């Protein structure tokens, strides 16, 4: 008979959160630690990683990692072993229309959002496959389903992450490794600071979703905890939208007064 008392507990498991220095990454690290995981808070900003680790508790450790450095990622996968959960939250965006994009802009977004994710999945996934278990959780965006001017390259990279991780789910699944993606809606994080600085934009984004507001980073962390552990033991290859109904709503109708 199935026991449900510890469905979301992660005691005895090691989780690596890449991008743990702020935003959703920080809250994901704190949430995983609260469920009993030993959390490695990885970030390019060593001070921010240390701050997150301090907030997450005694079983959290900071780790300085530049995910753009493939050799450093390889070394991290070798040193931090075994790893039961890998969470990849770090991303960037350059908000410009396509005709204003430079090759440098394009490379900057693609390198972090897609190429670096490939490196992490390849290196950490290999150790999980060898051990026969693990959970990889990548991050996309509601932009995999809906686009807007100025978000083309970002949207393309996030759609790429979904397909990359779905492929990993298919390839790693026979070894017992699950791979999934979380696709948030608008969240109050440093990545969305440009939009939040303009009240008209901020209000328009809030109004688009069914819940009529932005999310706080901690509201995304629950999806990470779910996908990390036994509650999602038969969930792989999926993209879980945590978007406040953004992708469900198309337009508004207000009855005349």
| Catalytic choice (70, 101, 154, 202) | 154
What token pair was written down for 170?
Answer: 């298919």
The structure's pTM equals: 0.95
The answer to whether 114 and 153 have CB atoms below 8 angstroms apart is: no
The answer to whether 240 and 49 have CB atoms below 8 angstroms apart is: no
Active site residue 154: yes
pLDDT tens column, 133-178 = 999 999 999 999 999 999 999 999 999 999 999 999 999 999 999 9
CA–CA separation, 70 and 90 (whole Å): 15
14-241: which CATH topology? Answer: Rossmann fold (3.40.50)
Angle between helices 70-79 and 116-131 (to 10 degrees): 20
**Angle 54-57-59 from CA coordinates, rounded to 5°:** 115
Map out the domains of the chain as residue ranges.
14-241
What token pair was written down for 121?
Answer: 């999945």
pLDDT tens column, 64-118 = 999 999 999 999 999 998 999 999 999 999 999 999 999 999 999 999 999 999 9
In this structure, what is the dihedral angle of CA atoms 192, 214, 117, 49, given to the nearest 10 degrees? 70
């Amino acid at each position: 008979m199935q026991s449900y008392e510890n469905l979301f507990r992660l005691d005895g498991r090691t989780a690596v959160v890449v991008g743990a220095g702020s935003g959703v990454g920080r809250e994901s690290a704190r949430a995983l630690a609260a469920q009993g995981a030993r959390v490695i808070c990885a970030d390019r900003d060593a001070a921010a990683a240390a701050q997150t680790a301090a907030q997450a508790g005694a079983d959290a450790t900071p780790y300085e990692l530049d995910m753009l450095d493939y050799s450093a990622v390889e070394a991290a996968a070798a040193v931090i072993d075994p790893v039961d959960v890998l969470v990849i939250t770090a991303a960037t965006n350059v908000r410009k229309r396509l005709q204003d994009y430079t090759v440098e802009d394009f490379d900057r977004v693609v390198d972090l959002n897609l190429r670096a994710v490939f490196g992490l999945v390849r290196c950490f996934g290999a150790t999980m496959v060898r051990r026969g278990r693990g959970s990889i959780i990548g991050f996309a965006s509601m932009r995999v389903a809906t686009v807007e001017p100025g978000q083309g390259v970002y949207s393309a990279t996030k759609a790429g992450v979904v397909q990359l991780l779905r492929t990993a789910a298919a390839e790693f699944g026979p070894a017992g490794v699950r791979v999934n993606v979380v696709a948030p809606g608008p969240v109050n994080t440093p990545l969305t600071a440009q939009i939040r600085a303009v009240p008209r934009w901020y209000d328009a984004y809030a109004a688009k979703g069914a819940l009529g507001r932005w999310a706080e980073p901690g509201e995304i962390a629950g999806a990470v905890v779910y996908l990390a552990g036994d509650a999602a033991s038969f969930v792989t290859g999926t993209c879980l939208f945590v978007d406040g109904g953004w992708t469900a709503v198309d337009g508004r109708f207000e009855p005349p007064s």
